[in-house]
Amino acid sequence: EIMRGLIFIASTILMSMIDIATRPYKIRVVSVQKRTINERHLIRDGLVASISTLKLHNFVYKMAAPKKGFWFAIDRGGTFTDIYAGTPSGRVVVMKLLSEDPANYEDAPKEGIRRIMEQELGIPIPIHDPLDASQIEWIRMGTTLATNALLERKGEKIALLITKGFKDLLHIGNQSRPEIFDLQIVCLETLYECVVEVKERVVLERKDCQMDWKDCDTVEVPTGDKLHVWERLDKSELRKDLQRLLDKGITSLAIVFMHSYMYSEHEKEVELVAKEMGFKHISLSSEVMPMVRMVPRGFTACADAYLTPIIGNYVQSFAKGFANPEKLNVLFMQSDGGLTMMDKFVGSRAVLSGPAGGVVGYAMTTHHHDTEKPVIGFDMGGTSTDVSRYAGEYEHVFESTTAGVAIQAAQLDINTVAAGGGSRLFFRSGMFAVGPESAGANPGPTCYGKGGPLAVTDANLVLGRLLPEHFPKIFGPNEDMPLDREATLAAFDKLTEEVNAFLDEQGSEKLDRYQVAMGFIRVANESMCRPIRALTQGKGYDTSHHVLACFGGAGGQHACAVARSLGMTTVFIHRYSGILSAYGLALADVVQEAQEPFAQKFNSDTYKYIDERIDALTQECYKELESQGYSRDCISSTPYLHMRYDRTDCSLMCSPALDPQGHAPKPHQGCTHGDFEASFLQKYKCEFGFTIPSRTIIVDDIRVRAVAIVMVHSQQPLPRADPSDRPAVEGVCDCYFVDGFMGTSIYLLDSLTNGHTMEGPAIIIDKNSTILVEPGCTARITEYGDVRIDVGMSEGHLSNIGTTLNTIQLSIFSHRFMSIAEQMGRVLQRTSISTNIKERLDFSCALFGADGGLVANAPHVPVHLGAMQETVQYQRRVRNDIHEGDVILTNHPAAGGSHLPDLTIITPVFYPGFAEPVFYVANRGHHADIGGITPGSMPPHSQYLWQEGMQVKSFKLVERGVFQEEGVTQLLMEPGKYPGCSGTRNLHDNLSDLRAQVAANQKGITLVKELITAYGMDVVQAYMKYIQENAELAVREMLKEIASHPKVGPILSPSTITSYSSHLITHTLYTKCSLYMM
């Protein structure tokens, strides 16, 4: 005991000595007992570039060496390039400049570096002279280069090499139609210039297959599967084909072979031949993303071959701007939120390089720092707005689609809406519309002084929310002018005349330019709320139980309004919110991943193999990071299993379940790395609302993600303000809100300190952003200089909205009605169980008025939506016994059905004080089997309707709140009474999906009632009618436009349109209303 006491005293003294000696180096103590992402929620400011580590009593002292030179974290966005930099003197510099300004510089990141070095060193650096790399510690960069190249189809010229017989596989793709209401579907161009079919073929062995394998070589792959090599690679023919590609000037290849994720030898053989012949870049699908499913794997390989050379060219061009590029230490942000070395930055992992920095930024500065609540990231830039969610770990998706290309790689789950500061403003068919078109960086909005169109930024300027005197003079043709307020006012006056001309025709009250500008702001806010609802409610989370972390140059002007609309009570704005994506790059860690396919059941027979492969992949990641110079003590890793239920296609990437202390508990039986099954069940229940206890779990892939924590930050708290010390008011301006102009106090963020509070309305100005504190909200400066806003929920102006048509309110209601239908669809997808509904998305949801007329529908299947109105109205005609709690099932063509397997579920919406339904919500979903002579839908040889399965004109699936399982089961089995027919062959899935359809309608009812509570019944029903009337107006204008075409004009004269358009609207074209709401 004495010895232990002496050792404790000595170690305490030693730790104190180390603490005193290393204070100048900004030490941070991090426990190594808990290697989770939470250990990196450090208070960050003074950045360091090199770390030495000293272990002592289960702690790691990470000591920062003194800075030797400049460092730069650069986010090159679509409109602006943001730079967060440090200088040898220890000064932090932030800068914002246009991403594209060819008249003044070639490359924005290099120009920003040049300007900062010139200012700090006090020595003129000519714009075209190479910079001295020896003075730069490191550069970190996120870029939209890959995204833009994909969107604009400006990548490298490539060829696709694919297994013979599959030439058109990627052209066919998955047959998705993002714009499902378009009458003319235009296929996006493929990324490849031409296709070479390669003679090679391997086939997966199946025990139930009757093929003859006797002449084939058999190969056993690591997953335990057996492959039969039907045809070996024909290298002679391959060389001839490759030479023809070289003759066409193609030097980049994407190679995609069948089953190469398990058997990559043929792809590697082609790679060797191609390298020998001089091809500069080769992307193997087996290396880019070794996962099952050939189509997304092929798209990913093509994207990699298409984008990586472009990225490589940019990196080389960037490096040439330095006198000694070999001394450059450059890291690039990947789509998954981790950094990688410059020479390892590839196209398939670069698509979200730009916005990923912002996610890291708010994750590291908000969650577990200011709040324990999950956080919604709200990144409003110039071109678009990105929303994401963080609740202690990054949320990744492993298949996403960008510009029509499905990419199968780890990416942060970021949802984008085309509404940013540069989103253009339009008045279309009596409605206010924001975007998706953007003014871009050049010419930019009207206020930029370069002849650009009106945009959201202009609306904020007109309303007094942007103050030109506090903006840098970087606008105009020569980048030396302030924001052009006069040009913006003139443009808004012209737009206001257009709006008022329409209102005159309608006999409505005219608007002034401030009301018009405010209308566009409110519509923009509502459009940005929709993806946030999708990200939260669509995954089973309550939106109101989140904090809104706002950043991006334009986000601070909209944060209070967006949070209020979503029911959130807190907004958190980091002091570097205007450049948080750049700031996040400085906080990010270097990431290395390894993954391999498995495709086996998760049970006691596979636990040991899974553990062994996790260990092997972990060592592979550690070895790679150590080769890059990172100490093993600074590296942590997390294993993942890509899991799904058997006979489903929804895989979830699962790390081991954590206990309340954040550790991975060891299960009594299972993998030694943690309880993956509990994690899967928990995620599945949260995501989809249920589990399937009797279903086997499959592991598709084994993955390890290793992180090298390379930054340590220490931030000194700001002095606490005296309770009697009121924040200094810089001035007062008139700012326009819903109720008109209000005197608004102006504060400078740099003059505020810890504890200062500001009641709204107020404007807080920083060098790179403007924060609007709306009336009813209170802003407080936190200990470290960030802004926390408590959002008041009172919105008295809602009660002032009457039943008279208001074009601004019409646009807002269109978004609200559309959002209800969209959220119904997400609940249906989340809670259904069948492949048809959950994965193929063969369903539709819509909202109907009290008369059964269509009000709004989500952009689902048109053939469903065109008939659903008739279905609802049929039930209103034949039933006089509809009560609250009733849900009606129908599928009969005579009752408005499309075909029998499309089961329609209709629920009336009752509201207190009204005896009859005030709305109806309905959805229609395709069931794989409802009985009949064959499984599936519409057998080709059927002669009678009963041969196609169950037929129902009207049945109460739920009666007064009770699900009629026995009755609907009898209906589903009834086809078995007919000769040659069977009842449903999958009753369990039928019942599960019917319950999901009921749940989707219930979600719609809840949202409709919330809308009525907020606005009042008269207002909601009035705007329902206005939406329908506006849809008719929009279609009339569309038909007139069509009639103006010389080939169509003689058929559709103006008189014909007037005579027939109402009939068309009533019976067919209400489904268009959703299109024109946007």
- pLDDT (0 to 100) of residue 423: 85
Amino acid in the structure at residue 1010 = E
Distance of CA 1035 to CAs 411, 434, 504, 814, 1039, Å? 40, 20, 20, 16, 6
The model's confidence at residue 787, banded by pLDDT at 50, 70 and 90, is: very high
Enumerate residues 6+ apart whose C-beta is below 8 A from 422.
Answer: 79, 382, 383, 438, 439, 440, 441, 444, 445, 455, 456, 457
The rounded distance, in Å, linking the Cα atoms of 822 and 828 is: 10
Output the six-digit token pair for 358. Answer: 């912002």
Output the six-digit token pair for 1050. Answer: 């003689």
pLDDT at 1078 over 70: no
Distance of CA 594 to the CA centre of its chain: 24
- pLDDT (0 to 100) of residue 960: 86
Tens of pLDDT, residue by residue over 734-750, are 999 988 899 999 999 98
pLDDT at 763 over 80: yes
The rounded distance, in Å, linking the Cα atoms of 908 and 849 is: 10
| Phi, psi angle pair for 53, to nearest 5° | -125, 135
**Sign of torsion over alpha carbons 196, 263, 399, 409:** negative
Output the six-digit token pair for 269. Answer: 């053989």
Enumerate residues 6+ apart whose C-beta is below 8 A from 543.
Answer: 376, 532, 533, 536, 537, 566, 567, 568
pLDDT at 113 over 90: yes
pLDDT at 92 over 80: yes
Tens of pLDDT, residue by residue over 394-416, are 888 887 777 778 788 888 888 87
Which alpha helices (DSSP H) does 782-930 contain, by range?
A: 807-831, 835-838, 862-878
Provide the pairing of β-strand 770-773 with 778-781. unpaired
- pLDDT (0 to 100) of residue 265: 92
pLDDT at 45 over 80: no
**Mean local confidence (pLDDT), 963-985:** 91
- pLDDT (0 to 100) of residue 848: 92
Which among 240-249, 569-578, 787-796, 1056-1065 has the top mean pLDDT?
A: 240-249
pLDDT at 790 over 90: yes
pLDDT at 618 over 90: yes
Percent helix, strand, coil in the chain, to 5, is 40, 25, 40
pLDDT at 27 over 50: no
Residue-wise burial string across 785-809, b where 16 or more C-beta atoms lie within 10 A, e elsewhere: bbbbbbbeeeeeeeeebeeebbbbb
Positions of E strands within 146-300:
158-163, 192-198, 201-204, 217-220, 226-231, 252-256, 281-284
Which among 12-21, 347-356, 684-693 has the top mean pLDDT?
A: 347-356
Strand ranges across the sheet with 226-231: 201-204, 226-231, 217-220
Q: Quickly list DSSP for 3-41.
A: HHHHHHHHHHHHHHHHHHHHGGG--EEEESS--SGGGG-
Higher pLDDT, 496 or 20: 496
Higher pLDDT, 122 or 1065: 122
The DSSP code for 718 is P
The DSSP code for 537 is G
Provide the pairing of β-strand 252-256 with 281-284. parallel
**Mean local confidence (pLDDT), 562-583:** 88
The model's confidence at residue 764, banded by pLDDT at 50, 70 and 90, is: very high
The rounded distance, in Å, linking the Cα atoms of 266 and 201 is: 9
* CB contact at 8 A, 672 and 611: yes
| Phi, psi angle pair for 643, to nearest 5° | -115, 150
Q: Quickly list DSSP for 483-501.
A: --HHHHHHHHHHHHHHHHH
Count CA atoms within 13 Å of residue 163 on its CB side.
21
Instruction: Name the residue among 807, 286, 791 with its Cα closest to residue 558.
Output: 791
- pLDDT (0 to 100) of residue 177: 65
| Per-chain mean pLDDT for the chain | 81
* CB contact at 8 A, 417 and 528: yes
Positions of E strands within 35-79:
51-56, 59-64, 70-76
Higher pLDDT, 259 or 837: 259
* CB contact at 8 A, 547 and 839: no
Higher pLDDT, 938 or 1058: 938
pLDDT at 474 over 90: no
The rounded distance, in Å, linking the Cα atoms of 191 and 170 is: 10
- pLDDT (0 to 100) of residue 19: 42
Terminal Cα-to-Cα distance of the chain (whole angstroms): 75
The rounded distance, in Å, linking the Cα atoms of 891 and 954 is: 8
* CB contact at 8 A, 53 and 636: no
| SS3 state of residue 138 | strand
Lowest-pLDDT range, 391-405, 789-803, 821-835? Answer: 789-803
Higher pLDDT, 691 or 143: 143
Lowest-pLDDT range, 52-56, 94-98, 675-679, 771-775? Answer: 52-56
**Mean local confidence (pLDDT), 565-577:** 88
